[in-house]
Amino acid sequence: MPSARGRLGRFGELAAAAHLQRSGYTLIARNWRCSGGEIDLVARRGDQVVFVEVRTRRVRGPQAALPEASVGAAKAQRLANLAHAYLAEAALPAELPWRIDVIAVEVDGAGRVVRLAHIEYAVEA
């Protein structure tokens, strides 16, 4: 049985995937893994591949850090490396445009999404 943290993360990923689909993205992979780690969501919009890191937290009050603030330099570098690994494994053209986004999800005590922020081009690659 998944931990409470695992269930919260899965809930956030489902909310993020639904947001992407409502916004015109096509999901092409969920929880893609390789030896370097995992990409939460991979989507396409037009001809661009979008790698999405989902950060989910319970609302902790006005002084709490936002979920998107938890993507630091080391995580950003790891995401860029994972994006390159995905593109190579999928044998996609080198000139195909791509980007890394972050979707931050905040959930209240009742399990409702109270904030979802989609930050496009969140990681420079």
Residue 83: pLDDT above 70?
yes
* Beta bridge mates, 113: 107
pTM of the predicted protein model: 0.88
What confidence tens digit (pLDDT) does each residue in 36-82 have?
Answer: 999 999 999 999 999 999 999 888 766 556 656 666 788 888 999 99
Domains belonging to the chain, first-starting first, are 4-123 (3.40.1350.10)
Residue 1: pLDDT above 60?
no
Average pLDDT estimate for 79-95: 91
Nearest to 31 by CA among 47, 9, 48: 9
Q: Rounded distance, CA 8 to CA 10, Å?
A: 5
Average pLDDT estimate for 2-15: 85
Q: Which residue has the higher pLDDT, 111 or 51?
A: 51
